[in-house]
Structure 1
Amino acid sequence: MPTSRSEPTGDPATHQDPPFEPPFDLAVIGAGPAGLAGVVAAADRGLRCVLLDAGARTGGQFYRHPAPALRAAHPERLHHHWSTFTALRERLERHLAGGRIVHLTRHQVWALERAAAPTGTAEAGREAGPGWRLHASKGEQGEGRALVTAAAVLLAAGAYARQLPFPGWTLPGVVTAGGAQAMLKAGLVLPGRRVVVAISGPLLLAAAASLTAAGATVPAVVEAGDYLGYARRPGVLAAVPGKLLEGAVHGLALARHGVRLRRSSAVVEAHGSERVNAVTVAALDADWRPVPGTERWIACDAVAVGHGLVPQIELATELGAATRAVADGTVALRVDGHQRTTVPGLWAAGETCGVGGAELAVAEGELAAISVAGARAHASDAPIAPGALLARRRRLRAFADLMAAAHRPGAGWTGWLRPETEVCRCEEVPAQRIREAVEDLGATDARTVKLLTRAGMGWCQGRMCGAAVACLAGQAEPTADRRPLSCPVRLGDLAALPPA
C-alpha cells in the first residue's frame, strides 16, 4: 500500500518534511463511508487523490472491522450494508494499484492552511478556489509528521459520541456506545458479559443487536426518547423504507434474545467500587427529568451509554466555515446542494454535515466528488450529478433531520447529577463547581465556565464534557468550536513549522 513520501530524516524536532510533489487534485480527510465514496468517485473522474485517515484500515467507525491477524471468518455479521463497503474497498484498491489514489493510514490531520493555487490549475472557468496545505501527525502516537498539498479538500471526518454525565459514569465498565462497537468490531472483544445498553439515538438497536449476536447478555435496552417524534412526519418515513426494515430486523433480533426495550427511560446512576456491577434506571418525563418512584436496579458488568453523536468539524470552523444548528442540539457544517462549504475549495460530506448514517454519507461523498470534478474542469466538461443520487440524498437527509429532532436531549437531564458528580473527567471538575461558576460568578456560556473551572481544558479538549458544560451554563443554542489545532500535536512538530 502506498505510504507517505515525507518520511522524516534526521532530528524530528528540526526536520521539515517536504510537500508531496506534484500537488494532488483532491485530499480527502477520513476513510469512512463518505470519504471512501468521495475518493473513489473522484478518481473515477480522473482526479489524482490522497486519502488521509487516523485509522490503520479503511471503513471509519461505521465499517470498523478486525485486523487480518485476528482471522475473523465472518466480519459482515456485525454490520449491515457490508456489500457497500466491500465494493468501495475494491474500487479503492484498483485506484491504488493504478496510482490514482495515495492512501495514508494513521495520519491525523491537525490543521488546514490556505496555499496559493498550484501552477496550472487556475484556468479560466474553474472554481477550485485556493490550494491547501494539510498538516498531519503520523503514527498512533504522533511519531512523525507529514505535509500534503492539494487543490481541493473533502472533509469527511465523521462524528464522535456525545456524553451526558451521571453518578458513577467514570467507573470501569462504563463505555460509550461507539466504544463498545469499536471493541467488538475491531477486536472481537465484548465490554462485558452482561451489558446494559442505554443510548438515545440511531446507535441504540444496532449496538444492542451486535452485542447479543456476539454472545453478550443484554438485560435491558434503555432509550431516553419515546419514538413518537417519528410519527410527526410519516411522509419522511415512507420515503426511506430501508430504514424501517433495518429497525425491524434489529428489533426481531433482540426479541429472539428476550431483550426488553425501556422507552422514555435512562440510566441515572452506575454502582460499583472497582468496576460497575449494577445501574439504576428511571423513567423520564417529556423534559428528561427522572420521575420519582420509577427507579429500577439492574445488575450488569458493563454499560454502553451515549446520547447521540457530535459532528467533527473543527478543521473547517477554524477556517470560518459557516455552520447550522441541528435539531438534536449539535452543530454541523452548512453546505449547498453540491456539498460545498462556505470556504472556497473546501467540501464536506457525511456526519460533518449532520449525523445521518452510512447510506447518506456514501451519497454525499459521491456528490462532493462530482462537484469537485466539475470545479476542476471547464464548465462545458463539468460532470452533472445524476437525479437519482440527488433524490436519494434529499430523502436520507430529511430522515436524518427527523431523527435528530426525535432524539434531542431534554434539559431536565441535569436532574441526574449530584453536586460531586464529575462532569469534566480530564480535569476532575464536579457539577457543583460548574454551578458555582454560573450562579455565583456569572458565567453564561461554556467558554467562561472553562476559564473559571478548567472544565474542557484536558486531553479531550471538551469533546466528552462540552455538551454537558454548555447545558449547565444555560447556553441556549449550541455553538461551534474554533481552535487552531484539531487534536493534540507534539511541540516539536509545531516548532518545525516554517515562519508564517
Structure 2
Amino acid sequence: MPISPSDTHDLAVIGAGPAGLAAAVTAADLGLTVALVDAAARPGGQFYRQPASGLGAARPQALHHSWGAFARRAARLEAHRAAGRVHHFTEHHVWSVTREAAHWAVRAMTGPDGAQGRAEVATRKVLLATGAYERQLPFPGWTVPGVVGAGGVQAMLKAGLVVPGRRIVVAGSGPLLLAVAGSLAAAGVRVPVVVEAGGYAGYARAPRTLAANPRKLVEGASHAATLRRYGVRLRTHSAITAVHGTDRVEAVTLTRLDRDWRPVAGTGLRIPCDALAVGHGLVPQLDLATALGCATRRCPDGTAALVLDGRQRTTVDGVWAAGEAGGVGGAELALVEGELAAYDIARRTAGDTLLRRRDRLRRFAGAMSAAHAPRPGWSDWLGADTEVCRCEEVTAGRIREAVGGLGAGDTRTVKLLTRAGMGWCQGRVCGPAVAHLAGETETGAGRRLLACPVTLGELARE
C-alpha cells in the first residue's frame, strides 16, 4: 500500500540505546517528527538495560553509573511521545532499510522474538544507532556450559537480577571486564581474578588524550577501588587458555602471555570456579549500514566501523549514524554523537562545546581500541579439536586444513570448504577468528541482505 506524505516521519532512529535515545529526543526538541524503532521493550539499549517490572527492583539505578543522563532523556522521550512528536516502536526488529521514490522504508518484524507480525515505517531521513555486540576469541573449552559472554553476564544481572554462578572468573580484554567484575562482586559473587590479555600501559602512549579526558581516569580509578574493596585480583598479559568440566565449568587454566599473546610455556595456573565471563571487546553492528552501501573503515583493534564526517553523516546521502556504529567508544560518546546528528538532521548548528566534547571522546575511543587490540599470537591457544564455529561445529583443525592443505586464503573460501560461518549467527561470533586463521590481514564488515531472521512468508510478500 502506498504511504501518504502525512504518514512519513522526518526522521527514523533505529536503536534506542544511548545514541538513539539522545538523537530522538534532541530531534524532537528541534521540531522534527521522529520514529524511534527498537527491538527492546524499553529504551536504554544494552548499557541502560533495566530489570523487568515484574521483578520488583527497588533501585535499578544501583546497577548503573551515569543513570541520571539516561533518566533525563527517558523523561523527555515520554513527554515527546505523549505529545505525538515521537512514535516509539518497541519490539520491532529491523531487517531492511531501502530507498523508495520519495522516502526511506524501514521494515521490521514485530514481537519479542520477531515472529508476531510485520511493520513498515516511512521516513525522510535515517539515523543508525545500532550499537555493537561482543567479540569472542575461541579457546579450548569455551563451549562448556557456564562460559558466558562478559557483556551477557552484565545483561543477566541488569535485566534479570541473576548471575550464572557464585564463583566467576572474568577474562578477555577491554575495560568492560572491570565494570563486569565490579558489578558481580557488588552483587555478592566471588570473583577470584580478572584476567586481561593485554594491559593498560598502552594508554600512556596517548598522554594528551588522557589529560583531555579526566573523567575517564576517574572512572578507571573507581573500578580499581571497587576491585580492591572486594579483594579481586587483576592479572594482565594473561588469558584463560582452557576450561575444565563436562556438564559445567569446574575450573579454568590461566596462562601468562608474551607481547604477541602467545602462551608462555609452564605458566599455567588452575583456578576453581563455576562460571567464566569472557569477552574481547565489542564489534560495531553494521548489517543495515553495509546493506545500504555505507563505507567502512578499520579501527585500531581490527574491527570495522562506519566512515562518518564531522556531522555524523555516512557516505550514503540521507543516512546518519551515531554511537558504536562509528567505532566503539562508550555511552558518553554515544549520547554526544546522537545529539550532534540530530542537530545536523534538523539543519541546526551544534555548539562548539558539543563538537569539542565529541572529538575529545572519540580520540579516547581510538586510544582504548589500540590499547586492547588482540595480538596475532592468540590463535596459539587453539588445539586442533577446538571448535571455532559453534553453529556448524567447525574446528580449528578443519579450518587450518582448508588453509594449509586446500589453499583457502580468505574467509569466503574457508566458509565454502568447511561451512564455518554458515550457521544461525551468520559468522557474527566466529567471523573474526575465521578471518584470522584464514590469514586475512584486512577484514572488512560483512555484507548481509537481512539484518535479522525473517520468515519466508514475509520475504514472499516483499
Task: Answer whether TM exceeds 0.5 for this pair.
Answer: yes
Q: Does 1:431 align with 2:396?
A: yes
RMSD, matched Cα = 1.1
User: Does the Cα contact within 8 Å between 1:20 and 1:148 map onto a contact in 2?
Assistant: no
* One of 444, 448, 455 as aligned partner of 1:483: 448
Alignment partner of 1:321: what SS?
coil
Alpha-carbon shift at residue 20 of structure 1 (Å): 9.3
Match of 1:267 in 2: 240
User: Does the Cα contact within 8 Å between 1:19 and 1:147 map onto a contact in 2?
Assistant: no
Alignment partner of 2:293: what SS?
coil
Match of 1:120 in 2: none
* One of 79, 95, 100 as aligned partner of 2:85: 100
Write the deviation string for residues 286-313 of structure 1: whole angstroms up to 9, x where unpaired.
1100111111100111100011100001
Q: Does 1:179 align with 2:152?
A: yes
Q: How does 1:408-487 map to 2 (within 5 A)?
A: 408-487=373-452
User: Does the Cα contact within 8 Å between 1:324 and 1:331 map onto a contact in 2?
Assistant: yes
Alpha-carbon shift at residue 444 of structure 1 (Å): 1.1
User: Does the Cα contact within 8 Å between 2:291 and 2:448 map onto a contact in 1?
Assistant: yes
Write the deviation string for residues 444-470 of structure 1: whole angstroms up to 9, x where unpaired.
111111111110011111111000000
Shift in alpha-carbon separation, 1:101–1:453, aligned structure 2, 3 A: same
Match of 2:20 in 1: 35
Unpaired segments ≥5 residues, structure 1? 1-15, 118-130, 375-382
Match of 2:113 in 1: 141
User: Does the Cα contact within 8 Å between 1:31 and 1:53 map onto a contact in 2?
Assistant: yes
User: Does the Cα contact within 8 Å between 1:18 and 1:147 map onto a contact in 2?
Assistant: no
User: Does the Cα contact within 8 Å between 2:3 and 2:122 map onto a contact in 1?
Assistant: no
C-alpha distance in structure 2 between counterparts of 1:19 and 1:247, whole Å? 51
User: Does the Cα contact within 8 Å between 1:17 and 1:147 map onto a contact in 2?
Assistant: no
Q: How does 1:251-400 map to 2 (within 5 A)?
A: 251-374=224-347, 383-400=348-365
Alignment partner of 1:147: what SS?
strand
C-alpha distance in structure 1 between counterparts of 2:4 and 2:64, whole Å? 38
Alignment partner of 1:276: what SS?
coil
User: Does the Cα contact within 8 Å between 1:20 and 1:147 map onto a contact in 2?
Assistant: no
Alignment partner of 2:7: what SS?
coil
C-alpha distance in structure 2 between counterparts of 1:443 and 1:318, whole Å? 26
* One of 61, 64, 70 as aligned partner of 2:55: 70
Write the deviation string for residues 227-280 of structure 1: whole angstroms up to 9, x where unpaired.
111001111001111111111111111101110000000111111010111000
* One of 207, 213, 216 as aligned partner of 2:186: 213
Match of 1:125 in 2: none
Alignment partner of 1:332: what SS?
strand
Alpha-carbon shift at residue 21 of structure 1 (Å): 5.0
Alpha-carbon shift at residue 202 of structure 1 (Å): 2.2
C-alpha distance in structure 2 between counterparts of 1:155 and 1:353, whole Å? 10
C-alpha distance in structure 1 between counterparts of 2:260 and 2:2, whole Å? 53
Letter of the structure 2 residue corresponding to residue 133 of structure 1: A
Kindly report structure 1 stretches of 4+ aligned residues shifted beyond 3 Å. 16-21
Alignment partner of 1:442: what SS?
coil
C-alpha distance in structure 2 between counterparts of 1:21 and 1:416, whole Å? 58
Letter of the structure 2 residue corresponding to residue 90 of structure 1: A
User: Does the Cα contact within 8 Å between 1:39 and 1:369 map onto a contact in 2?
Assistant: yes
User: Does the Cα contact within 8 Å between 1:19 and 1:149 map onto a contact in 2?
Assistant: no
Q: How does 1:114-125 map to 2 (within 5 A)?
A: 114-117=99-102
Write the deviation string for residues 375-411 of structure 1: whole angstroms up to 9, x where unpaired.
xxxxxxxx11100000000000000000000000011
Instruction: Indicate the percent of aligned positions where both proteins have the same amino acid.
Output: 64
Shift in alpha-carbon separation, 1:19–1:298, aligned structure 2, 3 A: farther
Alpha-carbon shift at residue 28 of structure 1 (Å): 0.4
Unpaired segments ≥5 residues, structure 2? none
C-alpha distance in structure 2 between counterparts of 1:17 and 1:171, whole Å? 51
Alpha-carbon shift at residue 151 of structure 1 (Å): 0.3
Letter of the structure 1 residue corresponding to residue 396 of structure 2: A
Write the deviation string for residues 168-209 of structure 1: whole angstroms up to 9, x where unpaired.
000110000111011000000011110000020120111110
Match of 2:41 in 1: 56
C-alpha distance in structure 2 between counterparts of 1:494 and 1:239, whole Å? 50
C-alpha distance in structure 2 between counterparts of 1:78 and 1:248, whole Å? 18
Alignment partner of 1:457: what SS?
coil
- The alignment covers a number of residue pairs equal to 461
TM norm structure 2: 0.98
User: Does the Cα contact within 8 Å between 1:34 and 1:358 map onto a contact in 2?
Assistant: yes
C-alpha distance in structure 2 between counterparts of 1:475 and 1:155, whole Å? 28
C-alpha distance in structure 2 between counterparts of 1:148 and 1:331, whole Å? 28
Alignment partner of 1:51: what SS?
strand
Alpha-carbon shift at residue 318 of structure 1 (Å): 1.3
Alignment partner of 1:402: what SS?
helix
C-alpha distance in structure 1 between counterparts of 2:331 and 2:246, whole Å? 38
